[in-house]
Amino acid sequence: MIVLKTKRELAAMRDAGRIAARALRIAGEAVEPGVSTWEIDRIARRYIEEQGAIPTFLGYGGFPASACISVNNVVVHGIPSKDVIVREGDIVSIDIGATYEGFVGDNAFTFPCGKVSAEAEALMKATQESLYEGIKAAQAGNRIGDIGSAVQRYVEARGYSVVRTFVGHGVGAKMHEDPSVPNYGTPGRGVRLLQGMTIAIEPMINAGVSGVKTLSDGWTTVTADGKLSAHFEHSIAITSDGPVILTLPD
Ligand code: MG
């Protein structure tokens, strides 16, 4: 069931989104050679809790941390750990949700640690750009397939591949609401986008093949070929004035 939000609810979602965005920014600032992903998670969690918000991911489906931190060939759902030390040249995808006054903000960003390879830089840039291509397509009257095809067209033209095992989603009082928002699709197909819909668009883009596999911890998902993967996400609202990003820090 797709839940349309009122103006008041959209304002509340913007508050939750701001906290999630600031937590993400603070987590990104902590990315430096030698830091553990456990430490980055601790910093993000502390910030969210200081705002009177709840780290949405903590305990979600049994997830043991507040942020998913996915380094290099890890696509999504990396579990923060004292044993995972970030090194110069790594790319670090951080996905953070905050629940505030009953609404969820969900966002992700891939941060470079120091100087990264030209290949990594190009992948991050294309993935971030593809998110904005998807957002641009999120106009009332368009359909879900318009978003996915915009993302897909952008990254495939650059030789990258779209992860299909995981998709974006409606977001609101719950982190995962209807509809699903794939990062691939056919223009003009799928659920029609209506004013008041709030969705998380989150391209997960691989440098190599699109295939992924989940490790025995049940969470950590890596690229099938061991190549790099990047992940960017915003929660947005469909409005009569076009798409509005809810997960902005300022
Ligand atoms: Mg999400």
**How far are the Cα atoms of 24, 41, 238, 245 from residue 16, in angstroms, in the given order?**
12, 18, 17, 12
Instruction: Assign 85 a pLDDT band (cuts: 50, 70, 90).
Output: very high
Span from the CA of 240 to the centroid of ligand 1 (angstroms):
24
Span from the CA of 106 to the centroid of ligand 1 (angstroms):
6
Mean pLDDT of all residues in the chain? Answer: 98
Span from the CA of 20 to the centroid of ligand 1 (angstroms):
12
Tokens 């799928």 correspond to: 190
Instruction: Give the model's pLDDT for residue 105.
Output: 98
Average pLDDT value for residue range 85-89 = 98
Span from the CA of 56 to the centroid of ligand 1 (angstroms):
11
DSSP 214-236: E-TTSS-EEETTS--EEE-BEEE
Instruction: Give the model's pLDDT for residue 197.
Output: 98
216-240 pLDDT, tens per residue? 999 999 999 999 999 999 999 999 9
Contact 203, 134 (CB under 8 A): yes
Contact 86, 39 (CB under 8 A): no
| CA–CA separation, 226 and 216 (whole Å) | 16
Instruction: Give the model's pLDDT for residue 86.
Output: 98
Contact 133, 152 (CB under 8 A): no
List Cβ neighbours of 56 (8 Å cut-off, separation of 6 or more). 20, 97, 98, 99, 104, 106, 175
Q: Which pTM does this prediction carry?
A: 0.98
Tokens 């223009």 correspond to: 187
Neighbours of 92 (CB within 10 A): 27
156-207 pLDDT, tens per residue? 999 999 999 999 999 999 999 999 999 999 999 999 999 999 999 999 999 9
Tokens 């942020």 correspond to: 67
Span from the CA of 31 to the centroid of ligand 1 (angstroms):
21
Instruction: Give the model's pLDDT for residue 250.
Output: 92
Span from the CA of 233 to the centroid of ligand 1 (angstroms):
7
Instruction: Give the model's pLDDT for residue 243.
Output: 98
Instruction: Give the model's pLDDT for residue 194.
Output: 97
Instruction: Give the model's pLDDT for residue 95.
Output: 98
Span from the CA of 119 to the centroid of ligand 1 (angstroms):
25
Span from the CA of 203 to the centroid of ligand 1 (angstroms):
10
Instruction: Give the model's pLDDT for residue 184.
Output: 98
Amino acid at 152: Q
29-58 pLDDT, tens per residue? 999 999 999 999 999 999 999 999 999 999
